[in-house]
Amino acid sequence: MVKGVCILGSTGSVGRNTCRVIQSLADRFRVIGLTAGGNLRVLNRQIHQLQPKIVSVRDLKLARSLRERLRMEGYRPRVKIVFGSGGMSEAATHPQVDTVVSASHGVTGLEATYRAVESGKSVALANKETLVVAGELITRLARKTKSDILPVDSEHNAIHQCLRAGRREEVRNLILTASGGPFLKTSRRALERIRPEQALRHPTWKMGGRITLDSATLMNKGFEVIEAHWLFRMPSEAIQVLIHPQSIVHSMVEFKDGSLIAQMGVADMKLPIRYALNYPDRLSINGVAAKGASQLLSWEQMKRLDFELPDLRRFPCLGLAREALESGGSMPCALNAADEVAVEAFLKRRVKFTDIPRLIQRVLRRTSVARLRSLADVWDCDREARAYARESLLNDFT
């Protein structure tokens, strides 16, 4: 049976990789929906290649210019063009969609991902914010609707694979690996003087602006601890983080009998995407692409694997994320909102690199722990935390 797929955030890096994977597996998948922000150039090319039935863009103006562009190019197949959060949800819940790949940036895809889970679709989850801000809501809903959530994020995808080695009650610890980002060896004093362009260089993965910065502060890993908690129902203290600069071991699971199961592979997002789409099958990568060989790990690459504990004094964001998880309720949502404001302020050179955790900490101190019972609660918490962060930016950091 050919499965229908909707890709939320199709023009981003995971979205583009998903399109490539699907093109190579035309006998298994058919793209039904694509959603994107404003990158019409890439989206237009994807429409021609994949011929989706429904496409959503950020706003009405973009929807009109996309329609006009397709008409001028003489594009024939029927395609419905919609926009905004409602349009995204419509694409995600289209009756022909079986699997939604949630790969949009930030919280823009939250509503659509929620609707997809609500209507029982399988979700291949690449977007971090979904489980960070609404982990309890989404996972509870998924249990109710029997919607499968398969992680695409390389670490969680690795843990998902490692967990197949034993039963859930046999697990002692989940161990998330982290490349450590570009400032792994940078002193605390030198961190004060980091400039945005230095922070935007990531040693192993090519990603968007905010996530690259979140990798540099280790907030990204903090978010991943929160995600792991919701995906695998493990308590904070059983989710450890280990720095592993080579990014060959994508994560590990320690079982009660002392066995440590690691998942290794080249750092290529197409691997976890292919796994999440085809689970429980594992497909051969033969013939996937002319560059297929580079998707196999060589002995050369595995010659040296280093591991070390993260330094929480130099990277306080990781500790803040864990605090937010342990406090629960609204705190992870506030953490995410504060981080987004702090990162933006740093990229605009309004605050120092080391001010990012300081600003987040102030927001967390002002946020009261409340249970988020609906998406409306999530949006309220998000708005409030952003307002606190902006206020603090004006009062405490000028």
Q: Min. distance of Cβ 224 from Mg ion in angstroms? A: 6
Q: Min. distance of Cβ 179 from Mg ion in angstroms? A: 9
CB nearer to Mg ion: give 121 or 128. Answer: 128
Q: Min. distance of Cβ 257 from Mg ion in angstroms? A: 28
**Of the candidates 83, 51, 86, the residue with the CA atom closest to the CA atom of residue 64:** 83
Alpha-carbon distance of 167 to 131, in angstroms, equals 23
CB nearer to Mg ion: give 212 or 361. Answer: 212
CB nearer to Mg ion: give 155 or 340. Answer: 155
* Token output for 104: 């949009």
* 88: Cβ contacts below 8 Å, ≥ 6 apart: 8, 35, 56, 82, 104, 108, 109, 111, 112
Alpha-carbon distance of 250 to 264, in angstroms, equals 6
CB nearer to Mg ion: give 153 or 340. Answer: 153
Among 111, 129, 153, 382, binds Mg ion (CB under 5 A): 153
Applying CB under 5 A, which part among 59-67, 155-163, 258-266, 276-284 lies near Mg ion? 155-163
Residue 214 phi/psi, 5-degree rounding, is -65, -30
CB nearer to Mg ion: give 90 or 155. Answer: 155
Binding mask 96-135 for Mg ion (x = CB under 5 A): ----------------------------------------
CB nearer to Mg ion: give 112 or 207. Answer: 207
CB nearer to Mg ion: give 89 or 215. Answer: 215
Alpha-carbon distance of 331 to 368, in angstroms, equals 8
CB nearer to Mg ion: give 201 or 256. Answer: 201
How many binding residues for Mg ion (CB under 5 A)?
3
Inter-residue contact 324 to 335 (CB < 8 Å): yes
Applying CB under 5 A, which part among 90-98, 110-118, 149-157, 307-315 lies near Mg ion? 149-157
What sign does the CA torsion over 78, 83, 86, 91 have?
Answer: positive
Q: Min. distance of Cβ 155 from Mg ion in angstroms? A: 5
* Other Cβ atoms closer than 10 A to 167: 9
Any idea what the Cα angle at residue 339 is, between residues 336 and 340, rounded to 5°?
90
Could you give the residue ranges of the DSSP H alpha helices within 209-330? 209-217, 219-232, 270-278, 299-302, 316-327
CB nearer to Mg ion: give 56 or 251. Answer: 251
Q: Is residue 214 involved in binding Mg ion (CB under 5 A)?
A: no
Residue 173 phi/psi, 5-degree rounding, is -145, 150
Q: Is residue 227 involved in binding Mg ion (CB under 5 A)?
A: no
Q: Hey, which residues between 36 and 75 contact Mg ion (CB under 5 A)?
A: none
Q: Min. distance of Cβ 153 from Mg ion in angstroms? A: 4
Q: Is residue 155 involved in binding Mg ion (CB under 5 A)?
A: yes
Any idea what the Cα angle at residue 343 is, between residues 266 and 109, rounded to 5°?
65
Q: Min. distance of Cβ 1 from Mg ion in angstroms? A: 31
Applying CB under 5 A, which part among 136-144, 153-161, 175-183, 285-293 lies near Mg ion? 153-161
Applying CB under 5 A, which part among 108-116, 145-153, 195-203, 243-251 lies near Mg ion? 145-153
What sign does the CA torsion over 234, 238, 241, 242 have?
Answer: negative
Q: Are strands 171-178 and 249-255 parallel, antiparallel or unpaired?
A: antiparallel
Interacting residues toward Mg ion by CB under 5 A: 153-155
